[in-house]
Amino acid sequence: MKKNDTAVVKIEDIGINGEGIGKADGYTLFIKDTVMGDLVEVKVMKAKKNYGYAKLLRVIEPSKNRVEAKCLVAKQCGGCQIQEMDYQEQLQFKQKKVIGNLERIGGFAPEVLEKITQPVCGMDEPFHYRNKAQFPVGTDKDGKAVTGFYAGRTHQIIPNTDCALGVSQNQQILEEILSIMNENHIPAYNEQDCSGLVRHILIRYGFTTKEIMVCFVINGDNLPCADKFVDKLSQIEGMRSITFSKNKENTNVIMGKEIEVLWGDGYITDYIGNVKYQISPLSFYQVNPVQTEKLYKYALEYAGLTGEETVWDLYCGIGTISLFLAQKAKQVYGVEIVPQAIEDAKQNAELNDMKNAEFFVGKAEEILPAYYENYAKEHPGQQAHADVIVVDPPRKGCEEALLETMVKMQPDRIVYVSCDSATLARDLKYLCGEGYALEKVQVVDQFPNTVHTECVTLLQRSRGKK
Ligand code: SAH
């Protein structure tokens, strides 16, 4: 096969980025926008020695798992990768992806995994689930300000104010903002030459409290016509906070370092279960509240708390899991690298009148080993112990220095929450080589219509065995 060749292909597999995989004359092709089971006509765009990338020209026979995308720009927009895949099929795809990594990278036997893997936990309504959206702002060919999301792997904005994953309120907010920008000639930011002003619009919505915040990210010191924006936006039901954040750097980082309040509070409040959280524009907060509650319930169940336990929650963010656990534990220690998040965590503990949660700023792989060593110095002949350790690292997983200390602290249970099953598998392999056994694997779909997966696993210490 070579560039510009066309072929008819049956899609037989799905790649890790959601693209369909099929063969033409034994040559493997990766084809975006196709679904397992489709018979399609494609055109080769890029041909390598053993495989190539092709573009979908036409679906000859749709798969029984193909559904119509809900969003009009689903194909162009890089936000969703698998909106045309039936939701039940999406769930099976994610379950298979996690199990596949645990087998290949983790070295776990398929028959063991079969016994411990729980049915995947999906959503009843896999749309409009995100409580947060950061819309880039740009300029269209007529010079009008537009917002939307980037096309896959580029920074080209696909205009859309009605994202099917976000809350319905986003549309009205964005349209009010765009119309004020266009009427008053307030320019959107231009990444090419770092000119213009409005870079992003951040919107957050508390699903339980129905509170809304809007934050403008601007390449300047002030937001012109701030009173006009405030006038319109403050009338929207639930609006609690209108702020801006200066970001004058030439960077892909969205938010600036600080927040200035234009109207209302600098934060909104929301609940996960019974725990109340204060969320500022800069706080990390799980984006899918419905599934987060389920995820945390599994984490809590796996932690097996009776009220007597000492628990560490590593990579704790604003202390969401920590406070969930603190309801049932004797003492919880949270560790997080972002100082502002720890400030929020402390405030959230106070807000909920929880006195048994303590937080540390720093790298988990430095804080925990240092704590362990100091403890030994201060308590000769003893060693620091934890009953349960929970980790929820970013995609790169845990550093070995951290895993090593975790093992030394001999927790009865380790609950590993992961958004990347490849690094999860690597870390579980290490822990299972050091006396732990994998007891449960639960995939929870936090990101329907995208290829991202999240799962929570339970490891149990098998005493004496090493
Ligand atoms: N458990 C939290 C956050 C999980 S996201 C929740 O459910 O809301 C992962 C968190 O790890 C982020 O807040 C990130 O800032 C933090 N982080 C990244 N690297 C870290 C490190 N080396 N040590 C501690 N925290 C880290």
CATH number assigned to the domain comprising residue 201: 2.40.50.1070
Same domain, 241 and 377: no
pLDDT (mean) for 283-308: 95
- The pLDDT score that the predictor gives to residue 463 is 65
Neighbouring C-beta atoms of residue 425, cutoff 10 Å: 23
Same domain, 229 and 315: no
Same domain, 351 and 449: yes
Q: Ligand 1 pocket check: which of 315, 318, 321 to mutate, most ligand atoms within 8 Å of Cβ? A: 315
Same domain, 204 and 245: yes
- The pLDDT score that the predictor gives to residue 141 is 93
Could you tell me if residue 96 is inside a domain? no
pLDDT, tens digit (0-9, with 9 covering 90-100), for 111-121: 999 999 999 99
- The pLDDT score that the predictor gives to residue 466 is 43
CATH number assigned to the domain comprising residue 56: 2.40.50.140
pLDDT (mean) for 13-34: 93
pTM: 0.91
Could you tell me if residue 197 is inside a domain? yes
pLDDT of 464 > 70? The answer is no
User: 289 with 277: CB under 8 angstroms?
Assistant: no
Same domain, 295 and 173: no
Same domain, 182 and 247: yes
User: Which atom of ligand 1 lies at the shortest distance from residue 341's CA?
Assistant: 13
Does 272 contact ligand 1 (Cβ within 6 A)?
no
Give one DSSP letter per residue of 253-306, joined into a string: --S-S--EEEEE-S-EEEEETTEEEEE-TT----S-HHHHHHHHHHHHHHHT--
User: Which atom of ligand 1 lies at the shortest distance from residue 286's CA?
Assistant: 8
CATH number assigned to the domain comprising residue 378: 3.40.50.150
Query: End of a domain among 216, 244, 272?
Result: 272
pLDDT, tens digit (0-9, with 9 covering 90-100), for 138-162: 999 999 999 999 998 889 999 999 9
Residue nearest to atom 12 of ligand 1 (CA): 317
Does 203 contact ligand 1 (Cβ within 6 A)?
no
Q: Is 336 annotated as a binding residue?
A: yes
Kindly report the average pLDDT of the chain as a whole number. Answer: 95
> Is the sign of the CA dihedral 321, 323, 325, 330 positive or negative?
positive
Catalytic residue numbers? Answer: 419
Could you tell me if residue 93 is inside a domain? no
Same domain, 405 and 445: yes
Give one DSSP letter per residue of 293-323, joined into a string: HHHHHHHHHHHT--S--EEEEES-TTTHHHH
Same domain, 297 and 265: no
Could you tell me if residue 316 is inside a domain? yes
| List of residues 6+ apart from 350 with CB closer than 8 A | none
Residue nearest to atom 1 of ligand 1 (CA): 316
pLDDT band at 253 (very low <50, low <70, confident <90, very high): very high
Cross-sheet strand order for the sheet of 239-246: 157-159, 145-150, 132-139, 198-205, 212-218, 239-246, 260-264
The H-or-E segment that residue 208 falls in is: none
Cα separation, 81 vs 327, whole angstroms: 38
The full length of the chain comes to 466
Query: End of a domain among 272, 299, 324?
Result: 272
What letter does residue 163 receive in the DSSP assignment? -
pLDDT of 33 > 70? The answer is yes
Could you tell me if residue 90 is inside a domain? no
Could you tell me if residue 70 is inside a domain? no
Could you tell me if residue 94 is inside a domain? no
User: Which atom of ligand 1 lies at the shortest distance from residue 393's CA?
Assistant: 9
- The pLDDT score that the predictor gives to residue 157 is 94
pLDDT band at 465 (very low <50, low <70, confident <90, very high): very low
User: Which atom of ligand 1 lies at the shortest distance from residue 292's CA?
Assistant: 7
pLDDT (mean) for 60-70: 96
Cα separation, 317 vs 199, whole angstroms: 25
Q: Ligand 1 pocket check: which of 336, 338, 340, 367 to mutate, most ligand atoms within 8 Å of Cβ? A: 336
Could you tell me if residue 300 is inside a domain? yes
pLDDT of 270 > 80? The answer is yes
pLDDT, tens digit (0-9, with 9 covering 90-100), for 166-206: 999 999 999 999 999 999 999 999 999 999 999 999 999 99
Same domain, 364 and 452: yes
Tell which phi-psi region holds residue 107, choosing left (phi > 0), alpha (psi between -120 and 50) or beta. Answer: left
Neighbouring C-beta atoms of residue 110, cutoff 10 Å: 10
Q: What is the 3-state secondary structure (H, E, C) of 42-68?
A: EEEEEECCCEEEEEEEEEEECCCCECC
Report how many domains make up the chain: 3
Does 337 contact ligand 1 (Cβ within 6 A)?
yes
* Percent of the chain predicted with pLDDT > 90: 93
Cα separation, 407 vs 400, whole angstroms: 11
Domain that residue 35 falls in: 6-61
pLDDT, tens digit (0-9, with 9 covering 90-100), for 403-441: 999 999 999 999 999 999 999 999 999 999 999 999 999
The values of phi and psi at residue 199, to 5°, are -90, -50
Q: Is 358 annotated as a binding residue?
A: no
Does 394 contact ligand 1 (Cβ within 6 A)?
yes
Same domain, 40 and 163: no
Query: End of a domain among 61, 90, 105?
Result: 61
CA separation, residue 183 to residues 180, 233, 422 (Å): 5, 16, 49
Residue nearest to atom 16 of ligand 1 (CA): 315
Same domain, 404 and 449: yes
pLDDT (mean) for 24-44: 95
Same domain, 312 and 201: no
Q: Is 175 annotated as a binding residue?
A: no
